[in-house]
Amino acid sequence: MFATLEAMTEKFGERELIGLTDNEKPYQDVINMDKLNAAMDEANSEIEGYIAARYSLPLQTVPPFLKSLACHMARYHACTGAMSDNDPIKTRYENAVKSLKEISKGTIALGGSPVGESTPVKTSNNSVVMNIGRHDFGGRGW
Give the C-alpha separation, 100 to 98, whole Å: 5
Q: What is the CA radius of gyration of the chain?
A: 22
Concatenating the DSSP letter of every residue in 8-72 gives HHHHH-HHHHHHHH--SSSP-SS--HHHHHHHHHHHHHHHHHHHTTTS-SS-SS--HHHHHHHHH
Q: Answer yes or no: is 77 within a domain.
A: yes
pTM of this structure: 0.76
Cβ-proximal residues to 112 (8 Å cutoff; 6+ apart), any chain: 55, 59, 60
pLDDT value, residue 45:
96
First to last CA, the chain: 53
pLDDT value, residue 114:
55
Q: Answer yes or no: is 58 within a domain.
A: yes
Q: Answer yes or no: is 139 within a domain.
A: no
Q: Answer yes or no: is 87 within a domain.
A: yes
pLDDT value, residue 29:
92
Burial 20-33 (b: 16+ CB within 10 A, else e): bbbeeeeeeeebbe
Q: Answer yes or no: is 29 within a domain.
A: yes
Q: Is the peptide bond before 114 cis (omega within 30 degrees of 0)?
A: no
Q: Answer yes or no: is 21 within a domain.
A: yes
pLDDT value, residue 82:
72
Give the C-alpha separation, 119 to 109, whole Å: 15
In terms of residue numbers, what domain contains 96? 5-105
Q: Answer yes or no: is 130 within a domain.
A: no
pLDDT value, residue 12:
96
Q: Answer yes or no: is 56 within a domain.
A: yes
**142 residues of the chain, pLDDT tens digit each:** 899 999 999 999 999 999 999 888 888 899 999 999 999 999 999 999 999 988 888 988 899 999 999 999 999 999 877 778 889 999 999 999 999 999 999 888 887 655 544 444 555 666 665 566 665 666 565 5
Half-sphere exposure of 84 (CA within 13 A, CB side): 3
Tally the domains of the chain. 1
